[in-house]
Structure 1
Amino acid sequence: MDPIAIVVTALVAGAAAGVSGAASSAVQDAYTGLCEVVRNRLGSGRGGHGRPAEIVDAYRSDPVGQHDRMVAALTTAGADQDRALAEAALRVLALTFPGSADTVARYAVDLRDARGVYVGDHGTQHNTFS
């Protein structure tokens, strides 16, 4: 899963936990922290998609309708390179879906300049490089 998808998934998970009323104070704090990190990242990015607080608030109220806007804003802001943002997202996922953050982090790999890569479990790959 790419870093931006992890952030968007964590935003949805945090919002869903809050709406259901099942969110503990730890989940609420982690989700609030994630939203703040997202706002900061969007504020430091190249912009073009609206004000950071407006983007986050719109996404929180309508994640389905605002999905493309959030993904575009995060992409433009370079969120895929933001370690603090990734850590905040994984924290929310770990609290909302125990055990999921390890799975998500396991597949959040940077494969730029990689050759002959296999990602997954229980597969076999044979490479021959010349």
Structure 2
Amino acid sequence: MDTITAAIVVALANLSKDAIKDSYNALKTALKTKFGSDSDLTEAVEGLEKKPDSEARQAMVQEEVEIAKANEDSEIVQLAKALLEKADSDESSVNKYNVEFQGEVKGAQIGDKNQQENTFN
């Protein structure tokens, strides 16, 4: 998935966060300004907003990004990267866990996207 589409997908999943919403609106405004409010790209983004989990609509945005060559526009790409960075650094997106172990623990993993390899004798 290209940077612009990825940023839009991430933003739509996190619009409840003000920093994400502001960055997303900046990206969307730039897309409308550069490519037009009635462009296929803008319409694809608006369609994705209605069904953000739709892989078909995500693919449509990606296709329209490629057709419009939005990924060659440095301002648009920079806005998309900034949006992704905000989403990655947003502390409120970090899951917090409260875990209490009782008894003997032989390997435990807490958190998301972890990898663990255990060898027990």
The bucket for the TM-score relative to the shorter chain is 0.5 to 0.7
* Residue in structure 1 matched with residue 59 of structure 2 by the alignment: 68
Matched, 1:30 2:23: yes
Q: Distance in 2 between matches of 1:66 and 1:39?
A: 18
Native 8 Å contact 1:38 1:56 kept in 2 = no
Q: Distance in 2 between matches of 1:33 and 1:57?
A: 15
How far is the alpha carbon of 1:62 from its aligned partner?
Answer: 2.1
Q: Give TM-score scaled by structure 1 length.
A: 0.57
Matched, 1:7 2:9: no
* Residue in structure 2 matched with residue 91 of structure 1 by the alignment: 82
* Residue in structure 2 matched with residue 40 of structure 1 by the alignment: 33
RMSD between superposed Cα atoms in Å: 2.3
Native 8 Å contact 1:41 1:77 kept in 2 = no
How far is the alpha carbon of 1:40 from its aligned partner?
Answer: 3.2
* Residue in structure 1 matched with residue 112 of structure 2 by the alignment: none
Gaps of 5+ in 1: 100-130
Q: Distance in 2 between matches of 1:26 and 1:80?
A: 23
What does 1:109-124 align with in structure 2 at a 5 Å threshold?
none
Q: Give TM-score scaled by structure 2 length.
A: 0.61
**Runs of 4+ deviating beyond 3 Å:** none
How far is the alpha carbon of 1:98 from its aligned partner?
Answer: 1.8
Q: Identity of paired residues, percent?
A: 20
Structure with max Cα Rg: 2
How far is the alpha carbon of 1:39 from its aligned partner?
Answer: 2.7
Q: Distance in 1 between matches of 2:68 and 2:87?
A: 26
Q: Distance in 2 between matches of 1:27 and 1:71?
A: 20
